[in-house]
Amino acid sequence: MNGDISVAPLPRAEQAPESTAAAAIVALVGNPNCGKTALFNALTGSRQKVANYPGVTVEKKTGQFTTPAGRAIKVVDLPGTYSLRARSPDEEITRDAVLGRLATEAVPDLIVCVADASNLRLALRLVLELKHVGRPLLLSLNMMDIARKRGIEIDIDRLSAALGIPVVSSVAVRRGGTDGLLAELDRALDRRLQAGVSDWHAPNASELRSGQREADRLLRLAVRSEGRLDPGTAKADALLLHPVAGLVILLAILFVMFQAVFAWARPLMDAISDGFTWFGALVGEAPLPEILRSFLKDGVIAGVGSVIVFLPQITILFFFILLLEDLGYMARAAFLMDKIMGGAGLHGRAFIPLLSSFACAIPGIMATRVIDDRRDRLTTILVAPLMTCSARIPVYTLIISAFIPDRQVWGVVGLQGLVMFGLYAVGIVGALVVSFIAKRLFWRTNAGEPFMLELPDYKIPQLKSLLLGVWARALAFLKRAGTTILSMMILIWVLASFPQPPDGATGPAINYSLAAMIGNAIAPLTHPLGFNWQINVALVPGMAAREVAVGALGTIYSIDGGESAADKIGQVLSGQWSLATALAFLAWYIFAPQCASTLAVIRRETGSWKWMAVTFFYMLALAYAAAFAVFQVASALGAG
């Protein structure tokens, strides 16, 4: 057999109608890196929803489509797992969803086990476990194109007969690559039986070994392999996994990524800024009461607009991270960083969660579930917030643009991008130092297990999947801007606008406001850092979300006579702050725990208020010490 199932060409899956009351529920289950999410994207397209399972931070992805026979399908992309034994929160969700134990989720009508056709051994063991559950089951051999390149031939009919379930092939990243799966979905749902699962139990070690022996027997029966590696992967790894050249290339990739955040985003940022400036001017000329006009122009438009303007930079950062994941480079980067991270007390598997934290610490903290040892996982959770997340980009960009000249270094490198790269590097070094100390302060043991990681073949990323991933994260940022950031900006406007100045007052109105009172009350604590009362006011709501600081400064300084557009805020700051204050402000934001959502996730992931409190206070102390040192040294050098 050549590994294909003979089917007539079928049309691509169509979008499901809005009503999904009678839709059949299909659950996608599979090992990590088996192409399950790519298959989910190919089936559902843009009709996806991302949420969390109730009570946990595990992400739930659902989508809808219609089969060629007209059947409405609701598909659930479950977290990756190697076994229903469930050793992590992600795997527990997958197990409970398959067994129908989730009170908020319907029992799946059909389970589709997605397997990497080029690496079937562990996938077959999972299929055998799923068979014991008793629910209708279908095996989809994904990435068949890669399997063929590696000289692997799979006798699908023989494998299907041995397993007693339907088996089809698929190539999720190619047009028409899911046709066979779509046809078999209709047939499997037509003949599905409602089997019970009351006798199911988690497999013990002996049963796992027995299951693996059976999986090996099936491999010998239905799979023939020439045992050759993908030549492109082998050649690339010879360079990218080199202990010296590989690290240089990794640093170069990160450097280009941070340069792109500045260089590529500028035109779109200017367009967004101009749009909000025009809208603000339009509202400013509207025949509205003065207090309402101020609320809309200085509170809502200026505040939220000064944060949304950084959306292009954030989407570029997400694009790079998703691109590296889809290429298969992330696992290589983790392998390269193992020795460096091990010296700081971090497990090699911590690299991927920490790199994910560059986009946002929340998914980074959730990704620590790949680390089996609880102490290694806790250490990674403690330092993940030190990675420079996308929420810091608005703050960094504002200060860098205002105080760092836009010129070239060595004729090719932008100075502003170089400073941005330096801020990221300081965060990384800080995380390694904190990890080194935490390992010796909280638990004085060395990592016992060696670092073992399966390196997937390199794959050409699917543009559609990349764009869907970036779009989902952009929407999440906009939702954040429309909820948390908007509410904080309204609070800032209220604090900056009331009470009104007394009769005969000669100073700016904001000097008599609640914001000024709060800022001046904190001043004795922040004076050694070079912070003024306006900075103090921005720091307080910034505890909810770091990006709020930019909008808060815009609101405060616009009421005090400045403009609210992001570039105008920078002009005001450069005229009123010293360079030493600006550098201290950057140092504060490298380390400060200014994200309530991250702290909440730490509490939920660790199951303890203790570790949330430890994270908050050590980061607060670190931020204060860093800002103090930077301001004092910069002032001594004449930057004050």
- Burial (0-12, 13-18, 19+ Cβ within 10 Å), 560: middle
- Among residues 545, 577, 609, the one where a domain terminates is 577
In the predicted model, what is the mean pLDDT of the chain? 81
Scanning 506-562, the segments in alpha helix (DSSP H) are: 514-526, 533-539, 548-559
Distance of CA 215 to the CA centre of its chain: 34
511 is in an annotated binding site: no
DSSP annotation of 105 reads S
- pLDDT for the residue numbered 41: 86
Express each pLDDT in 306-319 by its tens digit: 778 778 877 888 88
Q: Does 529 have pLDDT greater than 70? A: yes
How sure is the predictor about 561, in pLDDT bands with cuts at 50, 70 and 90? very low
Residue at 295 is within a domain: no
How sure is the predictor about 374, in pLDDT bands with cuts at 50, 70 and 90? confident
pTM recorded for the entire structure: 0.66
Looking only at the bridges linking them, the beta strands covering 110-116 and 152-154 are: unpaired
How many Å apart are CA 68 and CA 399, to the nearest integer?
A: 55
Q: Which residues pair with 48 in a beta bridge?
A: 63
User: Once rounded to an integer, what is the mean pLDDT over residues 102-126?
Assistant: 89
Query: In angstroms, what CA-CA distances link 3 with 11, 145, 153?
Result: 21, 10, 6
How many Å apart are CA 561 and CA 495, to the nearest integer?
A: 17
CA angle 605, 610, 611 (to 5 degrees): 50
Q: Does 100 have pLDDT greater than 70? A: yes
CA angle 198, 200, 201 (to 5 degrees): 130
Residue at 18 is within a domain: no
Residue at 334 is within a domain: no
**The one-letter amino acid at 274:** D
335, 348 contact by CB (below 8 A): yes
145 is in an annotated binding site: yes
595 is in an annotated binding site: no
- Candidate ranges 184-198, 224-238, 591-605; pick with highest mean pLDDT: 591-605
34 is in an annotated binding site: yes
User: Once rounded to an integer, what is the mean pLDDT over residues 355-375?
Assistant: 76
94 is in an annotated binding site: no
- pLDDT for the residue numbered 157: 94
- pLDDT for the residue numbered 9: 33
List phi, psi (to 5°) of 195. -95, 150
58 is in an annotated binding site: yes
How many Å apart are CA 163 and CA 223, to the nearest integer?
A: 13
DSSP annotation of 501 reads P
547 is in an annotated binding site: no
477, 537 contact by CB (below 8 A): no
Q: Which residue has the higher pLDDT, 237 or 197?
A: 237
Express each pLDDT in 49-94 by its tens digit: 666 655 555 677 899 999 888 889 999 999 888 888 877 777 888 9
Q: Half-sphere exposure of residue 155, counting CA atoms within 13 Å on the CB side?
A: 13
Q: Which residue has the higher pLDDT, 173 or 295?
A: 295
User: Once rounded to an integer, what is the mean pLDDT over residues 622-632?
Assistant: 96
310, 274 contact by CB (below 8 A): no
- Among residues 173, 197, 225, the one where a domain terminates is 225
- Burial (0-12, 13-18, 19+ Cβ within 10 Å), 185: buried
77 is in an annotated binding site: yes
Residue at 371 is within a domain: no
How many Å apart are CA 112 and CA 97, to the nearest integer?
A: 13
How sure is the predictor about 8, in pLDDT bands with cuts at 50, 70 and 90? very low
543 is in an annotated binding site: no
How sure is the predictor about 454, in pLDDT bands with cuts at 50, 70 and 90? low
500, 512 contact by CB (below 8 A): yes
Please give the full DSSP string across 406-428, using - where no structure is assigned: --EETTTEEHHHHHHHHHHHHHH
- DSSP-derived 3-state class of residue 142: strand
45 is in an annotated binding site: yes
Q: Does 527 have pLDDT greater than 60? A: yes
User: Once rounded to an integer, what is the mean pLDDT over residues 140-161?
Assistant: 89
Omega before residue 501 within 30° of 0, cis: no
User: Once rounded to an integer, what is the mean pLDDT over residues 194-212?
Assistant: 66
- pLDDT for the residue numbered 564: 44
List phi, psi (to 5°) of 253. -60, -45
562 is in an annotated binding site: no
User: Once rounded to an integer, what is the mean pLDDT over residues 516-545?
Assistant: 88
How many Å apart are CA 614 and CA 623, to the nearest integer?
A: 14
- pLDDT for the residue numbered 58: 66
| Helix (H), strand (E) at residue 51 | strand 48-52
| Helix (H), strand (E) at residue 50 | strand 48-52
- pLDDT for the residue numbered 226: 62
Q: Does 578 have pLDDT greater than 90? A: yes
Express each pLDDT in 106-117 by its tens digit: 889 999 999 999
**Residues making up the chain, counted from first to last:** 640
30 is in an annotated binding site: yes
Q: Does 562 have pLDDT greater than 50? A: no
- Of 154, 311, 132, nearest to 210 by C-alpha is 132
Write out the E strands in 377-531.
408-409, 413-414
178 is in an annotated binding site: no
36 is in an annotated binding site: yes
How sure is the predictor about 444, in pLDDT bands with cuts at 50, 70 and 90? low
342 is in an annotated binding site: no
- pLDDT for the residue numbered 586: 95
Q: Does 399 have pLDDT greater than 80? A: yes
42 is in an annotated binding site: yes
Least confident window among 52-56, 259-263, 581-585:
52-56
List phi, psi (to 5°) of 59. -80, 140
**The one-letter amino acid at 455:** L
- pLDDT for the residue numbered 47: 67
Q: Does 7 have pLDDT greater than 60? A: no
Q: Does 428 have pLDDT greater than 60? A: yes
User: Once rounded to an integer, what is the mean pLDDT over residues 412-431?
Assistant: 87
Please give the full DSSP string across 51-65, using - where no structure is assigned: EE-TTS--EEEEEEE
144 is in an annotated binding site: yes
Residue at 521 is within a domain: yes
Residue at 120 is within a domain: yes
149 is in an annotated binding site: no
Least confident window among 120-129, 262-271, 440-449:
440-449
- Among residues 549, 577, 605, the one where a domain terminates is 577
Percentage above 90 pLDDT, the chain: 22
| CATH number reported for the structural domain that contains residue 112 in this entry | 3.40.50.300
CA angle 128, 134, 140 (to 5 degrees): 50
Residue at 221 is within a domain: yes
**The one-letter amino acid at 360:** C
70 is in an annotated binding site: no
Residue 407: how many other CB atoms lie within 10 Å: 8
- Reading the block at residue 369, the tokens are 């579930």
- pLDDT for the residue numbered 322: 84
How many Å apart are CA 165 and CA 517, to the nearest integer?
A: 71
Would you report the helix, strand and coil content of the chain in percent, each value rounded to 5? 60, 10, 30
Express each pLDDT in 20-36 by its tens digit: 447 899 999 998 878 88
Residue at 617 is within a domain: no
- pLDDT for the residue numbered 625: 96
Domain that holds residue 496: 471-577
Q: Which residue has the higher pLDDT, 175 or 297?
A: 297
| Domain count along the chain | 2
- pLDDT for the residue numbered 201: 65
- Burial (0-12, 13-18, 19+ Cβ within 10 Å), 194: exposed
How sure is the predictor about 446, in pLDDT bands with cuts at 50, 70 and 90? low
Residue showing tokens 């205002």: 402
Q: Which residue has the higher pLDDT, 479 or 236?
A: 236
List phi, psi (to 5°) of 23. -70, 140
